[in-house]
């Protein structure tokens, strides 16, 4: 199966480790991963902040870069959601019929990591080893836009050595919301405070999620308070094996 990795601009710049983990994981499972160098960004920040015409070139570029693959995997629920739900909105509003058609072709091939593993590749035990206490935050877009359900948890439960603990009020938003954290910093901080309290209540060493943006927000707070709790993308836990030092 020809799988293309859509790293997302944020991971590309800030968390290449996550992309490297996805690659290692999929190759370990016997698949070929390609990295279209023409890829950039899904346009979510512009779309969600109201700058829709500005998102158009990104939609166009995405459909060009990812046309023709069996599957496209993104280690981000919100970027996968943007592509699947909103690219057609942008194409219909500002683009042409050719672009709309291209989006209709490409968008359904895009999967968030846990969806690709469980639904497309049919695996829940990816042969990972991670001997730590971990709690999982289901990010809003994974949960409610993509409806990934318990797929990430099923993957985590199959990890050897892991002590997976439930996060209280897991499905409440962490308060990041993209530019919301800048425009409504005070409300965002209040939401973050509650999320951090719940994370600390679990006694976990690591908080994991399918989105580095939410993890950056929560992890930034945990780091400022010197809690010692680390944040780690789901892909990095699933990519870990016995030989790893962590």
Interface contacts to other proteins, rule CB under 8 A = 7, 9, 11-17, 19-20, 35-41, 43, 45-52, 54-55, 57-58, 61, 64-65, 86, 140-141, 143-145, 171-173, 175-192, 216-217, 219-221, 223-224
> In the bound complex, what is the minimum distance in angstroms from residue 185's beta carbon to other proteins?
3
Closer CB to other proteins, 4 or 164, in the complex: 4
Closer CB to other proteins, 18 or 114, in the complex: 18
> In the bound complex, what is the minimum distance in angstroms from residue 19's beta carbon to other proteins?
4
**By CB neighbour count within 10 A (0-12 exposed, 13-18 middle, 19+ buried), where does 205 fall?**
middle
> In the bound complex, what is the minimum distance in angstroms from residue 204's beta carbon to other proteins?
19
* Cα separation, 206 vs 132, whole angstroms: 8
Closer CB to other proteins, 49 or 124, in the complex: 49
Residue with tokens 């695996």: 123
Closer CB to other proteins, 36 or 127, in the complex: 36
Closer CB to other proteins, 163 or 194, in the complex: 194
**By CB neighbour count within 10 A (0-12 exposed, 13-18 middle, 19+ buried), where does 229 fall?**
buried
> In the bound complex, what is the minimum distance in angstroms from residue 62's beta carbon to other proteins?
10
> In the bound complex, what is the minimum distance in angstroms from residue 51's beta carbon to other proteins?
5
Alpha-helix runs per DSSP H in 50-184: 52-65, 77-81, 87-94, 97-106, 113-115, 140, 151-157, 180-183
First to last CA, the chain: 30
Question: Tokens standing for 130?
Answer: 């991670």
Closer CB to other proteins, 215 or 237, in the complex: 215
> In the bound complex, what is the minimum distance in angstroms from residue 35's beta carbon to other proteins?
5
From the list 70, 153, 84, the residue with the least C-alpha distance to 112 is 84
Q: Kindly provide the b/e burial profile for residues 134-168, where b requires at least 16 CB atoms within 10 angstroms of the residue's own CB.
A: bbbbbbbbbbebbebeebbbebbeebeebebeebe
């Amino acid at each position: 199966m020809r799988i293309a990795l859509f790293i997302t601009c944020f991971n590309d710049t800030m968390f290449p480790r996550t992309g490297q983990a996805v690659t290692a994981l999929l190759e370990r499972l016997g698949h070929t991963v390609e990295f279209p160098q023409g890829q950039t960004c899904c346009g979510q920040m512009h779309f969600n902040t109201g700058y829709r015409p500005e998102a158009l070139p990104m939609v166009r570029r995405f459909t060009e870069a990812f046309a023709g693959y069996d599957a496209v995997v993104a280690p981000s629920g919100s970027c996968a959601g943007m592509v699947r739900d909103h690219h057609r909105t942008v194409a219909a509003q500002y683009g042409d019929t050719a672009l709309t058609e291209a989006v209709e072709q490409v968008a359904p091939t895009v999967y968030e990591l846990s969806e690709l593993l469980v639904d497309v590749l049919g695996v829940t035990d990816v042969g990972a080893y991670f001997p730590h206490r971990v709690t999982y935050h289901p990010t809003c877009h994974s949960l409610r836009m993509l409806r990934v359900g318990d797929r990430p948890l099923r993957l985590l439960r199959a990890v050897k050595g892991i002590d997976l603990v439930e996060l209280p009020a897991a499905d409440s938003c962490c308060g990041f919301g993209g530019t919301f954290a800048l425009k409504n910093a005070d409300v965002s901080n209040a939401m973050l405070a509650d999320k951090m309290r719940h994370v600390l209540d679990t006694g976990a060493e690591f908080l994991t999620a399918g989105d580095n943006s939410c993890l950056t927000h929560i992890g930034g707070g945990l780091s400022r308070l010197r809690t010692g709790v680390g944040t780690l993308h789901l892909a990095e836990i699933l990519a870990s094996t016995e030989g790893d030092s962590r």
